[in-house]
Amino acid sequence: MIIPRRRINRLRVTRLHEGSRSTRQDVVAVEEPLEIRVRFADGDAWRTRSVSVTMRTPGDDFELAAGFLFAEGLLSDRRDIQDISYCSGDEQQEYNLLEVRLTPSASFDAGLLNRNFYMTSSCGVCGKASLDAIEVQGCSPIADGTLTVPSEVLTGLPDALRAAQPVFEKTGGIHASALFDVEGRLLGLREDVGRHNALDKLIGREFLAGRLPLADRIVLVSGRTSFELLQKATMAGVPVVAAVGAPSSLAVDLARRFNVTLVGFTRATGFNVYAGRARVRT
């Protein structure tokens, strides 16, 4: 019998504190690989391509796959997905292999797989090329007048996020992305050891439910804001992105170019606005 993967593991550790040593039980977040495959029609034949292998915390894997494919510009319509399932045949990897089967009429450009992986900070692609590539994917600047957010709503988001993080509460070692309305009500939250995976899961949830673009929503991320996270949020049409941590320079450039309100160092006492100041009401 195949047992679904757990999100946390319990283990014994040695604790050193103020010169004394003890053995205690600790809890850590699970990290396992997930390979995402796409099966699509190519003329009269069906083909399967591996599109990504990511290290993730098990759970919400179907949302992760859908969100990744959408954010990479590989899918734009949830109706193009016929089915998402785990690949059978290998009991050890049953829940680490996932296939997204598209409808026969779905348009899928496998060549995009060779052009899309400019997002990681180590790939050596210059910032301007990265920003240009987002426009090639069909992403447009966020329209003005979508919403304004009271500053007190933004300062209240981190506490709301922390209160709703079940795995972080147990492990202290996991990222989260959360979706809020303009009044600060929590609408959805996803956790993962990878900050990009957490946001893919959240966007995938909305994509599969047919709720994109997120033109009247706020996204809060638990750590820093990288170019990759801003790219995903911009693809989803999010007008306001807030973070507990700092943004990168390229994330700020992207936010300003695509008219996204970017807030960093969000605390109960205040925050920094790096782009899109007009959407924040004081």
What residues act catalytically?
Answer: 123
Helix (H, G, I), strand (E, B) or coil at 192: strand
Please say whether the beta carbons of 157 and 14 come within 8 A: no
Residues 6+ apart with CB under 8 A from 23: 12, 13, 14, 15
**Residue closest to 81 by CA, chosen among 234, 207, 235:** 207
Q: Alpha helices of 80-224 — where are they, by DSSP H?
A: 127-136, 151-163, 166-171, 195-208
Amino acid, res. 117: F
Phi-psi region of 92 (alpha: psi -120 to 50; beta: other; left: phi over 0): alpha
- How many Å apart are CA 198 and CA 204, to the nearest integer? 10
Amino acid, res. 56: R
**Residue closest to 266 by CA, chosen among 129, 107, 156:** 156
- How many Å apart are CA 138 and CA 25, to the nearest integer? 50
Q: What angle is formed at CA 221 by the lines to CA 275 and CA 167, rounded to 5 degrees?
A: 175
